[in-house]
């Protein structure tokens, strides 16, 4: 196997994985790693979950793809489930989070045109945000480092400081057709939205007849202790973008919308060749069954409390940790310096972690993680914190 055939788009760890079971992955030499990255919040049920494996085997022998020129039973069943579990009315299926964001942006633009003509086309996004890599999603990503080499991007956009309602009030107007934000900024450093801020955003969107779009790609599908992230804040958006955990490792994305928003689209406005294929939808139905019907989501708050207490115990011991932040099993350890040496050393010791923002270590275990596995992860992390030669790192 030669790495030279892959485009140089990722800074990868020096490891090749070929097997995963539960919360562990194994490299080609048989070394086990405790996975607290979960494919960046994708593997909500861990690796090789038997229910997902069973569904893949059965559905792949029945029907994989037929095109959206026709209906299929799994797609309709999944759409019904998502609507049943939410405060929304209709679904569009795609393959990824960035595709879901693209769909939401187009939906907002079309809605604005119907409501206010060509002038109602502006979209507000938050600084420090991340919404994806395609040109539209990149345009509403509030981090210049991702954008600078791909200018010029889509126009008609306004950045606003996250959690700053006064700045939003100054920016929103009748010309705004949509406001997009993450209930918890993931790539930006595990920064939760303030509930009061979300409520004010919702009020302003209603006042100016703009669509409120929640990007729940990373923070949704049970990760915060509720199936949808918005349910943890008590603010209902017009549009939800989702992907990652929805397929538990199999690619699927979706946009869930209220009738008010969804009705803007008509045949020909949008499409997706692979979106809503029977195989992906069958897997997503299985994931929802495990998370909701079998109670995994209900256990997230308890697990979060346990893990937070363990991590906060490290804050009391080490000067280089500022705080533990986040909600549910989407947590971050805010460091006083660059967390990369810690992440790298944890990797050497068999614990997979990932950074976020400038100085945060992300903690994203599978939602069915056990207390024993959380204990093992924190033990490795503390071992690394003790060994890393940072000046005045350890408290007396």
Q: Is 334:324 a contact under the CB 8 Å cutoff?
A: yes
SS3 34: strand
97 annotated to bind ligand: yes
Considering only CA atoms, give the Rg of the chain: 21
**Phi and psi at residue 321, in whole multiples of 5°?**
-100, 125
CA-CA-CA-CA torsion sign (214, 220, 226, 228): positive
Picking from 103, 129, 8, 37, the residue whose alpha carbon sits closest to that of residue 347 is 37
130 annotated to bind ligand: yes
265 annotated to bind ligand: no
322 annotated to bind ligand: no
> DSSP string of 151-201?
-S--SSEEEE-TT-HHHHHHH--TTEEEEEE-SEETTTTSEEPPHHHHHHH
Determine the Cα–Cα distance for residues 238 and 56; give it in Å rounded to an integer.
32
316 annotated to bind ligand: no
73 annotated to bind ligand: no
Q: How many CB atoms lie within 10 A of CB 89?
A: 14
Determine the Cα–Cα distance for residues 104 and 183; give it in Å rounded to an integer.
16
Picking from 300, 326, 296, the residue whose alpha carbon sits closest to that of residue 311 is 326
Residue 384, both tokens: 């690394």
Q: How many CB atoms lie within 10 A of CB 249?
A: 21
313 annotated to bind ligand: no
**Binding site residue list:** 97-98, 130, 133, 215-218, 273
**Binding site residue list for N(2)-acetyl-L-ornithine:** 133
**Binding site residue list for pyridoxal 5'-phosphate:** 97-98, 130, 215-218, 273
């Amino acid at each position: 196997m030669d790495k030279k055939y892959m485009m140089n788009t990722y800074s990868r760890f020096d490891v090749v994985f070929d097997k995963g079971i539960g919360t562990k992955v194994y490299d080609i030499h048989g070394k086990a790693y405790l996975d607290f990255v979960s494919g960046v919040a994708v593997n909500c049920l861990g690796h090789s979950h038997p229910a997902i494996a069973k569904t893949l085997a059965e559905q792949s022998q029945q029907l994989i793809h037929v095109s959206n020129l026709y209906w299929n039973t799994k797609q309709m069943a999944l759409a019904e489930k998502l609507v049943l579990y939410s405060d929304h009315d209709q679904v569009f299926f795609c393959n990824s989070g960035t595709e879901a964001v693209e769909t939401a942006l187009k939906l907002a633009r079309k809605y604005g045109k119907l409501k206010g003509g060509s002038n109602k086309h502006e979209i507000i996004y938050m600084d420090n945000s991340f919404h994806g890599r395609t040109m539209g999603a990149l345009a509403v990503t509030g981090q210049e480092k991702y954008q600078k080499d791909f200018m010029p991007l889509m126009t008609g956009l306004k950045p606003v400081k996250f959690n700053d309602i006064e700045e939003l009030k100054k920016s929103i107007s009748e010309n705004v057709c949509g406001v997009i934000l993450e209930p918890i900024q993931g790539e930006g450093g595990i920064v939760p939205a303030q509930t009061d801020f979300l409520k004010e955003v919702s009020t302003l969107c209603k006042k100016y007849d703009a669509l409120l779009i929640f990007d729940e790609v990373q923070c949704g599908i049970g990760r915060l202790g509720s199936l949808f992230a918005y349910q943890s804040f008590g603010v209902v958006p017009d549009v939800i973008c989702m992907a990652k955990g929805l397929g538990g490792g199999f690619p699927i994305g979706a946009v869930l919308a209220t009738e008010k928003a969804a009705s803007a689209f008509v045949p020909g406005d949008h499409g997706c060749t692979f979106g809503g294929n029977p195989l992906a939808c069958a897997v997503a139905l299985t994931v929802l069954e495990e998370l909701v019907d079998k109670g995994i989501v209900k256990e997230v708050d308890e697990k979060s409390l346990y893990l937070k207490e363990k991590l906060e115990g490290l804050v009391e011991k080490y000067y280089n940790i500022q705080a533990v932040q986040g909600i549910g099993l989407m947590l971050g350890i805010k460091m006083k310096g660059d967390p990369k040496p810690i992440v790298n050393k944890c990797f050497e010791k068999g614990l997979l972690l990932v950074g976020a923002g400038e100085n945060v270590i992300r903690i994203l275990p599978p939602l069915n993680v056990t207390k024993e596995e959380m204990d093992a992860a924190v033990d490795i992390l503390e071992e690394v914190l003790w060994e890393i030669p940072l000046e005045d790192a350890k408290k007396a």
